[in-house]
Amino acid sequence: MNGTTLLQTLQAILPASRIEEAARDHGVITRKRKLDIVTLVRALVLSAGSDDSGKLADARRRYLREAEQTVVRGAFYAWMDEELAVLMEGLLEEAMYFARSRPAFLPGILAGVDDWLIFDSETITLRAALEDDFRGSGSPAAIKVHKELSVGRGCMTYCHFGPAREHDAPNLVVDERYRNKGMLVDLGYASLAFIRDCRDHGARYVMRLKDNWKPRVTSISRGEVREEFFAGTNLDVLLQDEVIVLDSHCVDAEVVIGKGKQAVCARLVMIPGPDGYLAYLTNLPRKSHGPKQVAELYRVRFEIELDNKLDKSGAQLDQIRATTDSSVCILMCAALLHSLVVDLLIHQDKLERVQMEDVRRAPLHRLLLAFAMRAHHAEMLCLWSIGMRGRARWDYLADLLFEEGRDPNWRRRPSVLDRLVGLIAPRGRPRRRKLRDCRPSAAAYRSALRVKTAA
C-alpha cells in the first residue's frame, strides 16, 4: 500500500467534480458566497471530532485552515441545511455503489455464491430535543441504521435509516437482488417468511435456530441414531428419548418448521460448543459445506459487529449532538463515509497480502487505522488539495497510517475471516525469549571485559 492507492481510494469516495456537480443539482450553492463545498464535505468526513469540541466544531476548524475565505460560526452552521443533507445522502449512495462494483474475494468455504452479505442494525442516541422527529425506545430520541456488509468486499454495500422503535425484520426484504448470494442473519431477521423468500429467489442463508421454533425431523444424514423414528417427529422428543444421541457428535438433518401452508423445509445442523450444542438452519448443500463449515460461516457474522464498533468508536457515530434533522443526517452520512474509507483501505491491503503471499505482515486493524486517520486528517486534507504533486508526502503519510494501523495481536488472536482466508502465521517467540537471545550471557560479558582490560 502506497500513497497512490491511498489518494485513489479517497478520490473514489469523495471526488471533487462529483461533489461540485451534486451541489449545483441539489441547490446547495444558489448564489456566490464563501462556501468551498469540496473542502467542507471532505472536512466533515475525515475529521471525527472529539468529546470536547464535537464533529461540527472540529470540521469548521479544519475547513477554516484549508478554505480560501474565512466564515463566521453562525454562517458555517447555517450551511447544515436540507440541501447539504441531500447531497451527503447522495454521496453515501454513490460510495456504496462504488464498493459494490469492486471484485469480491471469496476463497475456501466462502466460495459457491456471488458474495456473502451480513445484516444488522445499530441504534444511535440523539438529543432529547429531537424526540418528535426521531422517537426512540430506550431513550427519548434515537435513530436506527440498517446495514448490509459484504464479506467478499470487506465493507458496507447498502444502508438506510429507520425509526428506532421499528423491528429489524421488516427492513430486510429478500428479492431478486439477492439471487446467488449468501446471507448471514441473526435472530432479529429470522422468520418463516425469510426462509421461504430465500428459497423462491435462489439465495443461500445461515442463521441460528430460534428457541421457540419446534422443528420436526424428516430425515437424518449425519449423527448417532439409536433407533428408527417416524418422519415428522419433534426434535425435542427425539433428543429427550435419546433417539438422537448428542455425544460430541455433529448432527445433520432435514426438518420442517411451521404448520400448514406456512410450513417450510430447511437443513438443520448441530455442533458441540463450549456451553452445549449450537443449532443452525441453512440451505447450503451438504457436498460443499458440512456442519462445522456451516458454523464457521455463521461466525463470520461477527465482522459486522466489528464494523459497528468502527462506526461508533472510530467515526464517533454515537457522538452526534446536533439539534436539527438536517445536521443529524449530515453527520451520520459523514461518519458512515469515514468508516467506508477505512474498510476499503483494509480490504485493499488484504488483497495485496494475498497476492504477494505475505502472511507474515500484520493486517490492518479497523479501529487503529481509524484512530491514525483521525490523528493525521489535517495533513491529509492539506495534501488532498495538491493531488499527486505531493506524491512523496502521500507515500510518507501512507506508510505512517499503515504502520500505526497494524494489528499487534494478529498472531495470537486472528479473526475468523483471516482463518478462513488463510492469512495466519505461527506465533512469534515470547518476549522473554527475545530478550534472552538479544542479551549477552554473564560469562561472555566477563570474557569481553577481560579482553578489553588487557588491551
Which pLDDT tens digit goes with each residue over 362-408?
889 999 999 998 888 888 888 887 777 778 888 999 999 989 999 88
Name, in order, each residue with C-beta under 8 angstroms of 58's C-beta and a sequence gap of 6 or more: 47, 48, 49, 50
Report pTM.
Answer: 0.88
Q: Name the band, by pLDDT with cuts 50, 70 and 90, for residue 449.
A: low
Name, in order, each residue with C-beta under 8 angstroms of 107's C-beta and a sequence gap of 6 or more: 420, 421, 422
Which pLDDT score, from 0 to 100, does residue 131 have?
A: 87
- If one counts every other C-beta atom within 10 angstroms of the C-beta of residue 283, the result is 17
Low-confidence winner among 8-17, 20-29, 266-275, 324-333 (lowest mean pLDDT): 20-29
Low-confidence winner among 147-151, 272-276, 343-347 (lowest mean pLDDT): 272-276
Hunting for cell 470487506 — which residue is that? 154
Name, in order, each residue with C-beta under 8 angstroms of 317's C-beta and a sequence gap of 6 or more: 122, 124, 145, 311, 332, 335, 336, 339
Which pLDDT score, from 0 to 100, does residue 53 have?
A: 47
Q: Name the band, by pLDDT with cuts 50, 70 and 90, for residue 65.
A: confident
Backbone angles phi, psi at 220, to 5 degrees: -125, 125
